[in-house]
């Protein structure tokens, strides 16, 4: 049974804006983070960039510098998600789209949507991979690393597919949401 999210996108954006006021001074960084989300060439298509071991955070088990859902992609239901995955690290990493509850399991299993992973995610030798899927069901999902034990160690970001969202946004904890352009 899938959990639905009850916060509307507007409410989420308002909460994020409030935390932005508290944290302050993060606006410039949010602009830099715009590389991680952008609109695709076709309507209702969003491009997502996922970089494994972007920095040293969480011993390198991060995507785009974040881990344990510390950054969340919110995408309107029905949009096509085009993922570009990169791993510049010598350590194997991968990315798989699964339901968020799977982040608490030792084995994350198969992608929720057919083909929604880098190739052979448990082997994780791909350094550069692309895949796409149609996010046709609202719910709470995650971009997780499929290499054994990494997800449980925090190697995942959030993915909300939302009936209420009007546009794709990328939200890092405590920062202003970055709207895809
Ligand atoms: Cu990993």
pLDDT level of residue 11 (50, 70, 90 thresholds): very low
Tell me: the pLDDT tens digits for 113-156?
Answer: 999 999 999 999 999 999 999 999 999 999 999 999 999 999 99
Q: What string of DSSP letters covers 72-105?
A: EEEEETT-EEEEEEEE-SSS----EEEEGGGGGS
Question: For residue 4, is it within any domain?
Answer: no
Residue 2, domain member (yes or no): no
pLDDT tens-digit profile of 51-95? Answer: 999 999 999 999 999 999 999 999 999 999 999 999 989 999 999
What protein residues have CB closer than 5 angstroms to ion ligand 1?
Answer: 93, 145, 147, 150, 155
pLDDT the model gives residue 26: 55
Q: Which H or E element spans position 20?
A: helix 9-23
**Ligand 1 centre distance from Cα of residue 43 (Å):** 32
Distance from residue 144's CA to the centre of ligand 1 (Å): 8
The answer to whether residue 35 is domain-embedded is: yes
User: Does the residue 164 lie in any domain?
Assistant: yes
**What residues make up the domain containing 168?**
9-179
Residues 6+ apart with CB under 8 A from 15: 7
Contacts of 88 (CB under 8 A, 6+ apart): 51, 52, 53, 127
Q: In this structure, is residue 167 part of a structural domain? A: yes
CATH number at residue 116: 2.60.40.420
Any domain includes 3: no
CA 132 to ligand 1 centroid distance, Å: 20
Query: Does residue 121 form part of some domain?
Result: yes
Write the CB contacts of 102 (distance below 8 Å, at least 6 apart in sequence).
108, 109, 142, 144, 151
Domain count, the chain: 1
User: Does a structural domain hold residue 100?
Assistant: yes
pLDDT at residue 17 greater than cutoff 70: no
């Amino acid at each position: 049974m899938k959990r639905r999210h009850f916060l509307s996108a507007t409410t989420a954006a308002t909460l994020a804006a409030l935390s932005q006021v508290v944290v302050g001074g993060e606006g410039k960084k949010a602009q830099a983070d715009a590389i991680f989300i952008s609109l695709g060439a076709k309507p209702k298509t969003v491009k997502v960039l996922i970089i494994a071991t972007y920095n040293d955070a969480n011993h390198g088990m991060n995507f785009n510098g974040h881990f344990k859902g510390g950054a969340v992609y919110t995408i309107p239901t029905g949009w096509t998600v085009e993922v570009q995955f990169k791993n510049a690290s010598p350590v194997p990493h991968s990315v798989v789209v699964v339901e968020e509850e799977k982040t608490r399991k030792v084995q994350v299993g198969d992608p929720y949507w057919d083909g929604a992973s880098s190739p052979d995610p448990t082997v994780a030798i791909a350094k550069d991979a692309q895949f796409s899927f149609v996010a046709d069901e609202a719910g709470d999902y995650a971009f997780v690393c499929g290499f054994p034990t990494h997800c449980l160690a925090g190697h995942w970001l959030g993915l909300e597919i939302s009936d209420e969202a009007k546009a794709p946004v990328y939200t890092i904890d405590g920062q202003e949401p970055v709207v895809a352009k």
